[in-house]
Amino acid sequence: MNDAVEKSPKGQAADTPLAGKNVLLCITGGIACYKVAILASRLVQAGSAVSVAMTAAAERFVTPLTFQTLTGRRVYTSLWQAGEDFDSHHLSLTGSADLMIIAPATADIMAKMASGIADDLVSTLALSVHGACPILIAPAMNTRMWLAPPTQDNLARLKRWGVHVIGPEEGRLACDTTGPGRMSEPEEILAAATRILRA
């Protein structure tokens, strides 16, 4: 598959702030991963070139092939891919990005970002992207994890550093409880990305 941006049915990329933009879509492990497939499709339909990076946990929920098919681009799953192709080097991926989206953003990735930990591909991308482009995270987790003091402290620190946050929403969660923790819907994340790139 080539890395061409998907066009609209009339052969033109959508005329939106996302058209022609390079979006680095990072996916961490959570049941909300299935929604990110819809987000990837919407980004491509809006005219963006979407590069996807996944954690090992994310691969347990949705396969890289799903995102390769939706974006028409290679999916990155390991820091060691850089040895095969320089274009997969984390500095190369973040250096060409106009926007980084992390969805779902688990408590784990938020803690790593807030502490400067870079022990896998996505956390390394999150650390190396600072100063290169805006970051938008869409948290998703169990309500108790979301409300836990460490998570709220990490959230405050990330916001202080300029990280954009959308959600989470209140509703029924996969753990059969109700409360804040649902990842925002793909359309809402897309709208937030549009606002960031329009600013």
167-186 pLDDT per residue, tens: 998 766 666 677 678 899 99
- Give catalytic residue positions: 175
Confidence of residue 47 (pLDDT cuts 50, 70, 90): very high
- pTM exceeds cut of 0.75: yes
Question: CB burial class (10 A; 0-12, 13-18, 19+) of residue 51?
Answer: buried
* Rg, Å, the chain Cα set: 16
Kindly give, in sequence order, each residue whose CB lies less than 8 Å from that of residue 90, ignoring residues fewer than 6 positions away.
79, 82, 121, 124, 125, 128
Higher pLDDT, 52 or 15: 52
> What domains does the chain contain, in order, with CATH numbers?
22-198 (3.40.50.1950)
Contacts of 151 (CB under 8 A, 6+ apart): 107, 110, 111, 141, 145
Share the mean pLDDT of the chain.
Answer: 87
